[in-house]
Amino acid sequence: MTYLPSPFKAVASLAITAVVAFSVSANAQLRDNSTNFNKTKSQKAAYTKKQTSGRETFSSAEIVTKGHSFFGSTTNGLAQAVEYVFQKAGRPQGYIIGEEGAGAFIGGLRYGEGTLFLKDGTRKKVYWQGPSVGFDFGGNGSRALVLVYNIDDTSDIFSRFVGVDGSAYFIGGLGVNFQSNEKLSLAPIRTGIGARLGANIGYLKYTAKPTWNPF
């Protein structure tokens, strides 16, 4: 699979230069969004099983099967990671499969693209971008399987999602964390080196078209 099509092929080479300009603004924006996010306690505990009732959902077996076909045989911890998410959040109404790249230096930038799948067979191309916070050095890519909760329509995904502090979990070369906005909750599962990005709480903005602007 090709890593990331244009315009994201240049991210790795441009990331270190771009991040110096973006870092201060990214961290300031992140603090503002985190403040607003923490005002609602229910968002702090973004993963709750009770929120998933009344919608068609995927089983853990379906998610594991999709994940294994996408990640390959190197992700022996996938079943455990999916089980962890299901214990915390229940059965998802959708999932995103895609790839992302990141170039970071204290405050980093992350770009990705993938496809959103809903239980009724609906699918939609999506892109995401945003800053991450932490010591993420270099430009690298990872594959991502994102479980999506409380979604009714593909357009619901086009929003900004804040990382839930303290939700990071690592197993078998995979990293999991939770993100939320006023309606949806997301549980990204990432592979390899990209897995450690989940430990750095930032936010991601999902869009219908690719953009260089992470804010």
| DSSP codes of every residue in 26-84 | HHHHHHHHHHHHHT-HHHHT---GGGGTTS----HHHHHHHHHHHH-TT-TTHHHHHHH
Position 91 scores a pLDDT of: 97
pLDDT at 135 over 50: no
pLDDT band at residue 157, thresholds of 50, 70 and 90?
A: very high
Q: Domain 8-207 belongs to what topology?
A: Lipocalin (2.40.128)
Position 14 scores a pLDDT of: 42
Which among 106, 129, 128 is positioned nearest to 116, based on CA atoms? Answer: 128
Q: Strands 203-207 and 123-133, how do they pair?
A: antiparallel
- The mean pLDDT of 82-97, rounded to a whole number, is 96
Whether omega for the bond prior to residue 7 falls within 30 degrees of 0, making it cis, is yes
pLDDT band at residue 102, thresholds of 50, 70 and 90?
A: low
Pairwise pLDDT comparison (110 vs 34), residue with the higher score = 110
Give whichever of 19-23, 44-48, 52-56, 178-182 has the largest mean pLDDT: 178-182
> Strands (DSSP E) along the chain, which ranges?
94-104, 107-118, 123-133, 138-149, 160-163, 169-171, 174-176, 179-180, 185-191, 203-207
pLDDT band at residue 100, thresholds of 50, 70 and 90?
A: confident
pLDDT band at residue 18, thresholds of 50, 70 and 90?
A: very low
Neighbours of 14 (CB within 10 A): 13
pLDDT at 154 over 70: yes
What is the C-alpha separation between 146 and 148, in angstroms, rounded?
6
Domain ranges of the chain: 8-207
Pairwise pLDDT comparison (107 vs 41), residue with the higher score = 107
pTM of the model: 0.73
What are the beta bridge partners of residue 160?
Answer: 205
**Residues whose CB falls within 8 Å of the CB of residue 144, separated by 6 or more in sequence, listed in order:** 96, 97, 98, 99, 100, 112, 114, 188, 189, 190, 191, 194
Which residue in the block uniquely carries the two structure tokens 């455990």? 80
Judged by DSSP in three states, 174 sits in: strand
pLDDT at 24 over 90: no
Position 71 scores a pLDDT of: 81
Structure tokens at 66: 């999709």
